[in-house]
Chain A
Amino acid sequence: MNRMSWFNTVSLTLGFAFLYIPMVILIVYSFNESKLVTVWGGFSPKWYGELLKNEAFLTAAWVTFKVAVASSTLATVLGTMAAYVLVRGGRFFGRTLFSGMIYAPLVMPEVITGLSLLLLFIGIGLDRGVLTIVLAHTTFSMCFVSVVVSSRLVTFDRSLEEAALDLGCTGSEAFRLVTLPIIAPAVISGWLLAFTLSLDDLVIASFTSGPAATTLPIKIFSAVRLGVSPEINALSTIMIAIVAVGVSIASLVTKYQMTRQMKEEQEAERN
């Protein structure tokens, strides 16, 4: 191993400190015995226990989870379809316009998306609740899925689909048996992206949720306005843990698969 120069050491330390000190403080204080958030009263996991007894938080967590699963699944289906048509549909009238338009929500301020959806739901007389949040989240996360999937489709060897047709597949069979299994990793990462986006969205959800359905970010935000409680710290720590575990597993699996594939390819060429 090379020894790092002092400059690199300093930049690395500064960068990571900047990123992680706030989170570390939050995690540390979630184990605080004291009810006062800023005063250290000794180590205790008691706020995690309190959290489990808090019905309101649990309900909100469940709503958030349901909304995330439903909206990310819907967004993945719609986003994949859109990506497929835009990449594979050949030239059709207005294709360039559509390709540009599908990316527009990426840069659209969330407040505007939220407000326009709110107006739409009021306009068509849809009662705000879980359904409206799901629809709203689908709307804004669909373009992320479509970006991820279409970038995979662009590098996809077209002759694989032609080979499937050549061997007797109809168009839809070729998609189901060849295209979809090959682009599956991109579709899955699109789903995960949509899932996380839905999980931590506050702005759009607060426009489109009703009294019947409150998501966790809304709950946390409103609770914090009344003062930070150690319970919130515990809840946030759990969320950080879930995300950290998920990301680590995903990257480990990808890395393992890549090294295995490279090893197998090298072996195949040697023999």
Chain B
Amino acid sequence: MSIPVFAPWDDPLAHPLIQFKNVSKRFGQFTAIDDLTIDIFEREFFALLGPSGCGKTTLMRMLAGFEAPSEGQILLAGQDIAAVPPNLRSVNMMFQSYALFPHLSIWDNIAFGLRRERLPKDQIEERVTEMLRLTRMESFARRKPHQISGGQRQRVALARSLAKAPKLLLLDEPLGALDKKLRQETQFELMDIQEKTGTTFVIVTHDQEEAMTVASRVAVMDHGKIVQVATPDKIYEEPNSVYVADFIGEVNIIKGTAKPDGEASFAVTWSDTAPPLTALSQTTFSADQDCHLAIRPEKIAISADKPEDAANAVQGKVLDIAYLGNISTYHVELPTGAIIKAQTANTRRISRRAFTWEDTVWLSWTASAGVLLAN
């Protein structure tokens, strides 16, 4: 039995839950969001990723209702929400600082939103208990926020924002305050909760690993624009620009000029002395067009002898070795002076490592390993 793939963005009939239509936001002279158009679908876990100041937080605050767009429209389930104040939107937000009310107990924090709806007492009680169970905080209900740990506060903040069963949940750097191990655990918890509740999540983060882990689609932002929106694997394997390739993970960028040499295949001239590299690309490049070949370090093999059948092979000298435990990254200097990073999994113990500093090695990769980018 095959599980249907969740990909409403490929379905032309699907109705987006959120639509940004040519939205711009300016603060005085500064343009935070620049003519942005994007659709987000129901049940999606959508990540906004970018460096600080790229406009991702502004985008989220416009969804929550704390900022109004200077131009353009934001539709939620087909309705323009510009005139709807934050307290009347069926959108809830989990704040970066968690913003738990310090004078209220955990129970009262979670019940806060429900009480504003004037729900009957037993319904509130039921819903709060459910939320406490969902976030495994049952035994802390009577405590105040300062009496629980950072990780627990994060779960309470999540429970509080989910209590009103919003159509859309916004998460502003939700795991920023947690240490790395706890963060990884919590990422899976978040995904689990998102699936259980079926809520649409929009998460803002500057941590690319986090975005890749949790999101169904990732939008990479820069200077108020979305550079690329795609699933995590597409963003990683098929970035549409050097900016995206460089922002997500590690990458080697080799500058050169392209020349078509067959069906979707190009020869990349990158140095006066070395033979051209071969790269496959669906995008066409004209002869002598400037291009960038982006190759992930883990797609580059490192060997002592020149591999016979490799499409691309270059020789160099080991400059540096970064040992990360599970993997090692070799920084190899080519005769041209360029430095290429190659990664290998440390399947053997370190004492059996094949290469060391100053060794002459061969780097090789297939024609389809890299991505040819125009800019």
Contact = CB atoms under 8 A, between A and B. Distances in A.
Interface of A: 157, 159-160, 162-170, 173, 177-178, 181-182, 261, 264-265, 267-269, 271
A268 B331 CA distance: 45
B99 interface: yes
A181 B64 CA distance: 24
A264 B164 contact: no
B148 interface: yes
A160 B116 contact: no
Given A166-B91, A167-B113, 9 more contacts: A162-B86, A165-B66, A166-B161, A168-B87, A170-B87, A177-B112, A182-B102, A267-B147, A268-B143
Given A160-B99, A163-B99, A182-B102, A168 B147 contact: no
A166 B103 contact: no
B99 A165 contact: no
B37 interface: no
Contacts of A157: 97, 99
A185 B257 CA distance: 69
A40 B95 CA distance: 69
Given A168-B113, A168-B117, A264 B146 contact: yes
B116 A168 contact: yes
B92 interface: yes
B290 to A, nearest CB: 46
Interface in B93-146: 93, 95-97, 99, 101-103, 112-113, 116-117, 143-144, 146
Given A159-B97, A173-B116, A181-B103, A167 B149 contact: no
A157 B101 CA distance: 10
Contacts of B64: 162, 166
Residue of B99, B152, B161 with most partner-chain A CB within 10 A? B99
A8 B116 CA distance: 58
A164 B160 CA distance: 11
Contact of B147 (A163, A165, A181, A265): A265
Contact of A166 (B86, B143, B147): B86
A160 B102 CA distance: 9
B95 A163 contact: yes
B149 A269 contact: yes
A182 B103 contact: yes
The CB with the most chain B CB atoms within 10 A, among A165, A167, A178, is that of: A167
Contacts of A268: 143, 146-149, 152
Contacts of A166: 64-65, 86-87, 91-93, 161
Nearest to A174: B87
Nearest to A270: B149
A77 B335 CA distance: 76
Interface of B: 64-66, 85-88, 91-93, 95-97, 99, 101-103, 112-113, 116-117, 143-144, 146-150, 152, 160-161, 164
Contact of B86 (A165, A177, A264, A267): A165
Nearest to A262: B146
Q: Which of A162, A164, A166 has the most CB of B within 10 A?
A: A166
A159 B64 CA distance: 12
Nearest to B93: A166
Contacts of B149: 268-269, 271
Contacts of B116: 167-169, 173
Contact of A159 (B86, B95, B143): B95
A55 to B, nearest CB: 46
A160 B95 CA distance: 9
Most buried by A among B87, B144, B160: B87
B160 to A, nearest CB: 7
Contacts of B161: 166-167
A261 B95 contact: no
19 contacts: A163-B99, A164-B101, A165-B85, A165-B86, A165-B87, A166-B65, A166-B86, A166-B87, A166-B93, A167-B112, A167-B164, A168-B117, A168-B164, A169-B87, A170-B87, A178-B101, A268-B146, A268-B149, A271-B149
Contacts of A164: 101, 112
A167 B160 contact: yes
Contacts of B164: 167-168
A263 B146 CA distance: 10
Closest 4 CB pairs of A and B: A168-B116, A167-B113, A163-B99, A159-B99
Contacts of A159: 95-97, 99
Contacts of A181: 103
Determine which residue in A160, A168, A173, A265 has the highest number of CB atoms from chain B within 10 A of its CB, and name it: A168
A186 to B, nearest CB: 13
A267 B146 CA distance: 10
A237 B150 CA distance: 50
Contacts of B95: 159, 162-163
Contacts of B150: 269
A246 to B, nearest CB: 24
A169 B147 CA distance: 26
A271 B152 CA distance: 10
Contacts of A264: 144, 146-147
B324 to A, nearest CB: 29
Contacts of A267: 147
A264 B143 CA distance: 10
Contacts of B66: 162, 165
B60 to A, nearest CB: 12
A160 B148 CA distance: 18
A163 B93 contact: yes
Contacts of B101: 160, 163-164, 178, 182
Nearest to B140: A268
